[in-house]
Structure 1
Amino acid sequence: MTNNKRHGDAASQLEAKGVGETFDLDDTVLRAQGHEVQLERSFSWMGALGLAFSIVNSWLTYASCFGVAYSYGGGLVAIFSPILSALVQWVMLMGVAELSSAFPSSGGQYHFTYIVAPDGYKAFSAYLVGTINVIAWWVNTASGTIYTAISAFGICEFLVAGFVGTQWQVYLCYLLVIILTLLPIAIIPQQRIENMTKTAMLLSIIGFVLVVIVCLVMGKGTYHPSALVEYRSTSGWGPGVGWLLGIGNGEYAFAAAGACVHIAEEIPSPARRIPLVINLTIILGVLTLVPWIIAMTSVIQDMDAVQSAFLPSLELFYQATGSKAAAASLQTYLTILYYTCVPSQWITSSRMTWAFSRDNGLPFSDYWSEIDSKRNIPVRATLLSAAFCVIYGLLYIASTQAFNSIINTAVLMLNITYTVPQALLAIRGRDMLPPRYFDLGKYGYSVHIFSVLWLILSGVLFCFPTTNPPTLANMNYNAAVILGIFVVVLVCWVERRKKFCGPAIDWDLLNMAQTVAH
């Protein structure tokens, strides 16, 4: 049977099912997954790319953690490990892109998990993935917010002799950033919100070019090209472990590229455009991060000072330019960029929270799943995400180490949510997927198996301390954090097990709609 014949038969069957002659395919696909349309499709593919890239912002994100990469193996590891990080994260996200093409929904990974899991395990496995995903996005949003505050205080310490910001002062600044980053969500009409995400992406690309040019021009005559290929470990780990830890560290710059999955119900033709946006986000991330870290490594004068600095990027700028004013100006621009990342994170975390509440995944779900009639966005879910960040930020006052441990764990939690539905699909068979625009075909099983194996390996690596031998000061608490999160999820499941409900799939309608669409 030809594609045109299948398309015609499916369209006729859709009309016979009462969908109507003027049905909207995107809405029909969503309805086939048990949900009614509640959000406007106000994001273009470029707006979605702006949202995903403004969150990932690979070069900017790496600027907040590249000092650790130097300790694992100098410039050699710092430059080449993020390339490998992008590759492994891209493979994992290809499985997510295919699932989002088959089952486009703002619920994302927990939604996929519920559909592909065996009948007796659907609810629990989907609830587990959904809760972990909600927490991961809340914590990711908190990390973007706190680093905006830390960057601001770092500039003050750099310029004002004797000034040292206390942890409670950083927390107060963190609260101010939360308020300021929520303002665009409240003020900008939803129909124009994508202009904000596209502007954030444009500002990031301009910043990347600006930082590279200024540092290279002002650092003329002081280049150290040998640093690009010099292996220099100060972490105490050998080359093998150092490289693996460097790859794990680099994943922080790419893991959130799946953010666009959670605005699937706000993009026209999401089955086509979400895979496109995920791929473009990774590509843009590599094209900005790699040149940036090459340029920065070549102008470093004192690597030990960069590694030990309160703000490694600021110390690097100072070494490159030799000017406090220039260094502070560049870091100020970076602080503005950190600020522009956070509104996109609020959008993603609120959509994930709203979608999970829609399936009764949270206490008082009826309240959190309401869509504001005037703004046409999940305002209550946004405020719930903000409330979590306010409370969670108190941990920074008590212990920066504990706060940072949970932030590092967020990357691992995102990868868990990416991998669980792929593992289930590999076990149950890929033939259960409906027709879809983005199809991994013969590479599907390889992608799923690789994702599982890498999750196991990286899960172990994320629990390694940054230096060897470990001390109380640099000990990694990720294993304890992950265990604690799983305990919390299991306790919550006791209360939710009879209330949580996943999507009710109409397979006939979904298959017909996807056939017509693709």
Structure 2
Amino acid sequence: MDTKTADFSAPGGPDDSSLHRRKSALESPSADEIQSADALLSTLGYQPELVRSRSTFQVAFMSFVLASIPYGLATTFYYPLVGGGPTNIIWGWFMVSLIILCVAASLGEITSVYPTAGGVYYQTFMLSPPWCRRITSWICGWAYVLGNITITLAVNFGTTLFFVACINVFTDENGNEIFPAETYQIFLIFLLITLICNAISAFGNKWLPWLDTFAIFWTLAGVLALIITILAIAKNGRRSASFVFTSFTPSSGWTPGWSFMVGLLQAAYATSSTGMIISMCEEVRQPSTQVPKAMVATIVINAFAGLLFMIPLVFVMPDIEILAALASGQPVPVIILSAVGSPGGTIALLVPLLVLGIICGTACTTAASRCTWAFARDGAIPGSQLWKRVDEKRDVPVNAMMLSMIVQIVLGVIYFGSVTAFNAFSGVGVIFLTVSYAMPIAVSFLGGRKQVADAKFRLGKLGVFCNIVALSWSLLALPLFCMPSYLPVTAETVNYAPVVFVGFTVISAAWYVAWGHTHYAGPPTSERAVF
């Protein structure tokens, strides 16, 4: 490999202010790591533009925060609850975690060869045969960008609904909710949360690694406080171990087997961020090893963290029929209130999850802006000249972040037409990201895995197994998460995920026909990058 230092004065490279910051970074103890990473990036066709400020632990922490398992599982608890009850909640999570571990390992192996902010889009281009690499990378890139944006939307909208449900653990003298939020009020809260997450990401970029570190300890303290309290008080008693680990009570209206599968949306949503951390490769000191290890380690840790969080909730869970009938679709606040018996105590236990929701939204906003910027950098988004600019003062692609935010807000309007809009946001996010993750894995697998033979994060013979599991899951997930959560389907409860998916697919296809087919050449290549 060519290990020359990146040429910061090359055309299209950083300006003087960016150069000053990079020189300052090169004077740190990790200078050799940064120079090596920048040299690799140059051989892959790009000039370094972002500062590599994240250490191994910090990138692992961000990967954890992107998933934010207690928060992500809490806001989507309704889906496995009606899908099959305790069995769906516990074993569905465990099963999907094992599957996503194979996805993470497969992506990590490829990322160790191609560590760029373009992520799976760049990888798909480099791994595909020359005759089809433009169209495959185009499809993957649009799926990856839209998946990042819609998952970020789902996180912020989920925080909104969860926040409203938390407030309503308080009731008036007649037992009615104190905040029967109107549709416009929910939308305004969502708008405020979205603006807060974007502001934190845009103006506090240099502090984000410390925010991610804080989130780890905050989550640990919050989860321990919650599970100890609800198990110790358990005002309405505790369920038997048989109920927690073997009870299967589908109430979605689907046939039992399919009901269980539809209930996996919770686990798929909570683990959908697996590959989003790849977009941070150009801000990491050793991306070829740090990012793959962080992806895999996070899945393992999150699998146990998820069980630690959900098993106690199921032990103190009231009747499933009561929870399934909640208009809010947010059963966790009600479960905790039932166990604690005090609205004040319940709110105190829910605050850590609410704070984690904001931190998770900020992390997702950051990742979405980076992949949007990377895709625009290669001219694949209309108006790319505007979206590919980096704010040199803050080291943030602010324009790309604003584009992502605008798309989220426009899609949020769906809530005015459907009370189950969150199902559409989370479902379409999972679908898009699943497609984007599957494409580099598929082209690598079909190509005989030649390009990853010398990967720094190499799976060896286990790689074939992981690839097959990942691709099989992808084929199942596409139709699965287009389904409504329960039957019968009405105009208010229909799942808009396939509508959003098809709509964006049509837009990307139309842009390819109108412009991309003639002008889009894909990411830059070099002799080093082309096999």
Same fold (TM over 0.5): yes
Residue 405 (structure 1) aligns with: 424
Displacement of 1:509 in angstroms is 7.4
Please state how far the C-alpha of 1:35 moved relative to its aligned partner: 0.5
Confirm or deny that 1:207 pairs with 2:226. Answer: no
Aligned residue for 1:195, secondary structure, equals helix
Unaligned regions of 5+ residues in structure 1, if any?
1-9, 512-518
Q: Deviations over 1:145-186 (max 9, x none)?
A: 122222222233332535310111111111211222223224
Aligned pairs for 1:359-508 (under 5 A) are 359-402=378-421, 404-433=423-452, 435-494=454-513, 495-508=515-528
- CA distance in structure 2 between the partners assigned to 1:325 and 1:477 by the alignment: 36
Instruction: Judge conservation of contact 2:153–2:408 (CA < 8 Å) in 1.
Output: yes
Q: Give me the whole-angstrom Cα distance separating, in 2, the residues matched to 1:288 and 1:178.
A: 27
**SS of residue paired to 2:132:** helix
1:202 aligned counterpart, secondary structure: helix
SS at match of 1:497: helix
Other-structure match for 1:516:
none
Taking a change above 3 Å as real, the CA distance of residues 325 and 201 of structure 1, as seen in their structure-2 partners, is same
Give the distance between the partners of 2:209 and 2:397, measured in 1 at CA. Answer: 16
Which residue identity does 2:214 align to in structure 1?
T
Q: What does residue range 177-326 of structure 1 map to in structure 2 within 5 Å?
A: 177-188=193-204, 190=206, 192-219=207-234, 222-225=237-240, 226-228=242-244, 229-309=246-326, 310=328, 311-326=330-345
CA distance 1:291–1:177, change in 2 (3 Å): same
Structure 1 counterpart of 2:47: 36
Is the Cα–Cα contact under 8 Å of residues 279 and 370 in structure 2 kept in the other structure? yes
Q: 3-state DSSP class of the match of 1:130?
A: helix
Q: Percent identity?
A: 24
Q: 1:365 to 1:15 in 2, by over 3 A?
A: closer
Which residue number corresponds to residue 52 of structure 1? 63
Hey, what does 2:136 align to over in structure 1?
A: 125
Over 3 Å counting, the alpha-carbon distance change for 1:306 and 1:476 in structure 2 is same
Contact 1:33–1:503, Cα closer than 8 Å, also in 2 = no
- The equivalent position to 1:97 in structure 2, one of 108, 112, 123, is 108
Tell me what 2:359 maps to. 340
CA distance in 2, matches of 1:16, 1:379: 27
Q: Which moved more, 1:135-144 or 1:491-500?
A: 491-500
Whether the 8 Å CA contact 1:55–1:344 is kept in 2: the answer is yes
Cα deviations by residue, 1:303-340 (Å, 9 ceiling, x for unpaired):
22222222211111111111122122223332222112
Whole-angstrom CA distance in 2 between matches of 1:15 and 1:62: 46
Q: CA deviation at 1:259?
A: 2.0
Aligned counterparts of 1:210 and 1:432: Cα–Cα separation in 2: 47
Offset at residue 405 of structure 1 (A): 1.4
Alignment equivalent of 1:137, drawn from 123, 143, 148: 148
Distance in 1 of aligned mates of 2:210 and 2:497: 37
The amino acid of 2:526's aligned partner reads D
Deviates more, 1:278-287 or 1:95-104: 278-287
Query: Is 1:152 aligned with 2:163?
Result: yes
Cα distance change of structure 1 residues 477 and 183 upon mapping to structure 2, 3 Å threshold: closer
Query: In structure 1, how many angstroms separate the alpha carbons of the residues matched to 2:3 and 2:354?
Result: 52
The amino acid across from 2:373 in the alignment is W
Separation (CA, whole Å) in 2 of partners of 1:35 and 1:300: 53
- The more displaced of 64-73 and 464-473 is 464-473
1:514 alignment counterpart: none
- Higher share in helix: 1
CA distance 1:69–1:344, shift in 2 (3 Å): same
Q: Give the TM-score taking structure 2 as reference length.
A: 0.88
Please give the alpha-carbon distance, in whole angstroms, between the structure 2 residues aligned to 1:474 and 1:91: 33
Residue correspondence of structure 1 range 503-514 to structure 2 within 5 A? 503-508=523-528
Are residues 172 and 246 of structure 1, via their aligned partners in 2, closer, same or farther at CA, if it must alter by over 3 Å?
A: closer
Deviates more, 1:481-490 or 1:258-267: 481-490
Q: Residue 120 of structure 1: SS of its match in structure 2?
A: coil
| CA 205–499 in structure 1, closer or farther in 2 if over 3 Å, else same | farther
> Structure 1's 221 and 447: CA in aligned 2 closer, same or farther, altered over 3 A?
same
* Partners of 2:419 and 2:493 within 8 A in 1: no
Q: Distance in 1 between matches of 2:426 and 2:432?
A: 10
* CA distance in 1: counterparts of 2:418 and 2:494, whole angstroms: 13
CA distance, structure 2, for counterparts of residue 115 and residue 333 of structure 1: 42
Distance change >3 Å, CA 387–CA 509, structure 1 → 2:
closer
Tell me the equivalent position of 1:176.
192
Unaligned runs of 5+ residues in structure 2 are: 9-31
Measured on the aligned residues, the alpha-carbon RMSD in Å equals 2.4
Q: Is the 8 A contact 1:208 1:288 kept in 2?
A: no
CA distance in 2, matches of 1:468, 1:186: 42
Q: Which amino acid aligns with 1:265?
A: E
Q: CA 1:388 to 1:17, structure 2 compared with 1: closer, same or farther past 3 Å?
A: closer
Query: Residue 252 of structure 1 aligns to which amino acid in structure 2?
Result: Y
Question: How many equivalent residue pairs?
Answer: 497
Deviation at 1:487, TM superposition (A): 1.3
Closer, same or farther: CA 49–132 of 1 in aligned 2, 3 Å:
same
Give the counterpart letter for 2:439 in structure 1.
V
Distance in 2 (alpha carbons) for counterparts of 1:380 and 1:207: 35
- Per-residue deviation, 1:440: 1.6
The Cα offsets for residues 362-396 of structure 1, whole Å up to 9 and x where unpaired, read as 11212111111111121111122122222222222
* 2:21 aligned partner: none
Please report how far the alpha carbon of residue 104 of structure 1 lies from its aligned counterpart in structure 2 after TM superposition: 0.3
Deviation for aligned residue 1:342: 1.1
Residue 418 of structure 1 deviates from its aligned partner by 0.5
Q: Return the letter of the residue paired with 2:267.
A: G
SS at match of 2:131: helix
Offset of residue 26 of structure 1: 1.0
Cα 1:270/1:301, change in 2 over 3 Å: same
Give, in whole Å, the separation in 2 of the partners of 1:411 and 1:467.
18
Q: Once structures 1 and 2 are overlaid, which stretch shifts more, 412-421 or 23-32?
A: 23-32
1:17 to 1:263, Cα distance in 2 relative to 1, 3 A: closer
Does the C-alpha gap of structure 1 residues 72 and 407 become closer, same or farther in structure 2, counting only changes over 3 Å? closer
